[in-house]
Chain A
Amino acid sequence: MRVRALEIDASRHVRHATHQPPSVWLEKNCYVDVCIELLHALGREPLAMLGGTIAIDFEGDQWSFYKPSHDDLQRLYGVEVGEMTCWRPLLDHAIEQLGAGKLIATEADAWWLPDTSGTDYRRNHVKTTIVIADVDTEARRLGYFHNAGYFELDGEDFENTFRTRDEPGALPLYAELVRIDRLRDADAATLAMQAAGMLVRHVARMPATNPVARFTARFSRELPDLQARGLEHYHAWAFATLRQLGSSAELAAMHLRWLHGHAADAHAGMHLATAADAFEILSTGAQAFILKAARAVNAKRTPDTEALFATWIDAWQHAHDALATWAASPPTSPTTP
């Protein structure tokens, strides 16, 4: 039996622009990546849902693992996401729900995901999120969104992704139902107006104190510990910190430039462009710093970061101030249905 919520050919799926050069972060985080590719496959503009990226915070040992809010997804696209009760085997749920035209976003172990051959496939047990779109129970084949693309797996990977063998005592995976039966098809101008209204809310959620200042101060204190723990620990640290900061800043800049392109008010658009410029400094800076900090950890040297960090701290403040000014004169008719 084959059940599929979408008809996609994995070999022909063209990634969204956020996942192609000249983007500097070709993968952001697993959840936002699958949201982008799913909406792209549905013919919707993912850039509209990325306003929340401006509001991520430094949480002490990590930056926010950012996701588009369910509310934003529903208002912008009519996509409804909610937790699924996993009371029977995941494969049974998939057959039922995909057959009804719904998708399932579920936790998965990257050990069994062949698209991660460069990192975790058959090397590391790492929790990630996939979106199940196409299941063939006879061929034991799964079509799924993961990270920046759409892929297929089969055989042993199929059995283990769906945990078809008994695993007494194993916790069920967390999963969400993704309903696309009430998709909206707003024109770009309407979508931008809705997104602008949401951005006003996200501006109000921006951290009250400069999170980049807090992060850079922590890095300077923590560098000796990072050096003592070595490169493998550094990679995990960099994913939780620099990758979230840099990739969210890139998406924020893309979102703001997209909004700017649809701004009816040129003066208001100027503030969006100013903030986008500032977020790009953080995005490209964080990517270079992933390499620079790796060298510092590997060679146990202390890099000169004073000027670099001052630039980042200023960039976040400029972005914040420009967006606060923009939000003080919100766009006309920022209402959402």
Chain B
Amino acid sequence: MSTTQRIRTILAEYGRLDADASALDENADLYQAGMTSHASVNVMLALEGAFDIEFPDHLLKRSVFESIAAIRDAVDSLAPQ
């Protein structure tokens, strides 16, 4: 499964989006799509668990979790090469 697909699966389970995570444009604003700050905490923890990564302090900000593309960029920058 691709990184993007795994992110969509996590968003479907933890993001509590109003939209279908599997069909959402990867640049769509997830907060506009209904993700609350409460949900974003659970999304972050699920991402760390799924990809075996830890977001460093400078990536613990709203903008990193605002779209599928932004999340993928962050995950790609942290995943083992």
- A-to-B contact residues, CB < 8 Å: 21, 24-27, 117-119, 231, 235, 238, 243, 284, 287-292, 294-295, 298, 308
Pick the contact of A26: B31, B41, B42 (CB < 8 A): B31
What is the CA–CA distance of A294 and B37 in the complex, to the nearest angstrom?
A: 12
CB distance B45 to A287 under 8 Å? Answer: no
The secondary structure that dominates the A interface is: helix
In the complex with contacts A284-B61, A288-B57, A118-B35 CB distance below 8 A: yes
Instruction: Say which size band chain B's interface belongs to.
Output: 20 to 34
CB distance A292 to B60 under 8 Å? Answer: yes
A287: chain B residues at CB < 8 Å are 60-62
Shortest distance between the CB of A31 and any CB in chain B (Å): 18
B34: chain A residues at CB < 8 Å are 117-118
- B-to-A contact residues, CB < 8 Å: 16-18, 31, 34-42, 44-45, 48, 54-55, 57, 60-62
CB distance A291 to B60 under 8 Å? Answer: yes
Chain B residue at minimum C-beta to C-beta distance from A235? B38
B31: chain A residues at CB < 8 Å are 26
Chain B residue at minimum C-beta to C-beta distance from A26? B31
B45: chain A residues at CB < 8 Å are 231, 294-295, 298
Pick the contact of A117: B18, B54, B55 (CB < 8 A): B18
What is the CA–CA distance of A21 and B40 in the complex, to the nearest angstrom?
A: 16
Enumerate 16 A-B pairs (CB-CB under 8 Å) in ascending A order.
Answer: A25-B37, A118-B18, A118-B35, A118-B36, A119-B39, A231-B42, A231-B45, A243-B37, A284-B61, A287-B61, A290-B37, A291-B41, A291-B55, A292-B57, A294-B44, A295-B54
What is the CA–CA distance of A25 and B48 in the complex, to the nearest angstrom?
A: 23
B60: chain A residues at CB < 8 Å are 287-289, 291-292
Pick the contact of B37: A21, A27, A298, A308 (CB < 8 A): A27
What is the CA–CA distance of A231 and B14 in the complex, to the nearest angstrom?
A: 13
Pick the contact of B48: A231, A235, A243, A295 (CB < 8 A): A295
